[in-house]
Structure formats: C-alpha cells, structure tokens
Copies of this chain bind each other. A is one copy, B any other.
Amino acid sequence: MTNDNYFINLAIEEAKVSLREGGLPIGAVLVKDNKVISKGHNRLIQNNSVILHAEMDAIENAGPLTHEDYRKCTLYTTLSPCPMCSGAVVLYNIPKVVIGDNSTLMGAEEFLKANDVEVVVLNDVNCKNLFEEFTRKNPEIWQKELAKVGNSTESKI
C-alpha cells in the first residue's frame, strides 16, 4: 500500500464517522512529515453548519500552525474540495492536496493549481462508491445540500 492509499483510507474512515452521525460521508486528514496531525469530516448536517466541510474541519482541528509547518503539510480528502476549502488551502499555503475522487463532484482544482498547489487525484473507487451510494440512497438530503450552492462547487479561477 502506498502512503497515499494509506492516508486516503484514514480519510475514508472519517467519512464513515460522519455517515454514522447522520452526516455526509466526506472525510479528510492533514498530514505533516508523513504523520497525521488532524482528522476532520463534514459536519454540515450534524452541526447545522455551512462552513464545516471535511477539509475545513481537519484544518481547524490541527489548530494554528506556523507558515513553515503548513508548508510541510498534505491535505487528503475523499472528495474534490470546494472553493471555500480550496481557499483555506491557499490561505495557509498548504502545498499539496490528494483527492480520493472528483468524478462525483468536481471542486476548485484549477484554482488550487493556479496558486501552485500540487493536486493529485487518486480515482479511488472506495471514495467514489461511498459518496455515490449515499447520494443514491438519500437523494432528498443531497438535493437539499446542492440547493444551497447552485452550481458553484467548481469556481472560475
């Protein structure tokens, strides 16, 4: 198993924590120097939040880091990150994002790349299946989420 597979599997475990809480199955982990320093999952439904996406939750749970430490981090996320989460990556100069799947939802990957963030897409079938199965079984929940954002998960760079 590669490092990327190992860490994305931890992000998937976080996505499953959210699922067990009644939330959207999206998870993330922040890795520094090859060690997980924080985990996060989508909390929109659980916390009635509009900002606690998995990536935001992971970045928040890491607490404040120095610029030098952020520069050593890689963010692993099960789903392509939206403009807000991508903006947080850009703000804190996190140099690399590893994405489990972007076939079910495309985020602001071009914005990340335009800001010199390395973007790796794993095309991980478990990430894809977990999210697709959820939206298929819970179309009303997913439509309610989509109804907030219109068509803006991508963003123009």
Copies of this chain in the oligomer = 2
> Are B153 and A91 in contact (CB-based, < 8 A)?
yes
> Are A64 and B50 in contact (CB-based, < 8 A)?
yes
Which of B71, B86, B147 lies in contact with A67, CB distance below 8 A? B147
**Residue A102 at the chain B interface, CB threshold 8 Å:** no
> Are A93 and B157 in contact (CB-based, < 8 A)?
no
> Using a CB-CB cutoff of 8 Å, which residues 46-71 of chain A contact chain B?
48-51, 56, 59-60, 62-67, 70-71
Known contacts A90-B155, A108-B87, A148-B92: A56-B67 contact under CB 8 Å: no
Which A residues have a C-beta under 8 Å from some C-beta of B?
44, 48-51, 56, 59-60, 62-67, 70-71, 82-88, 90-93, 108, 111, 114-116, 147-150, 152-153, 155-157
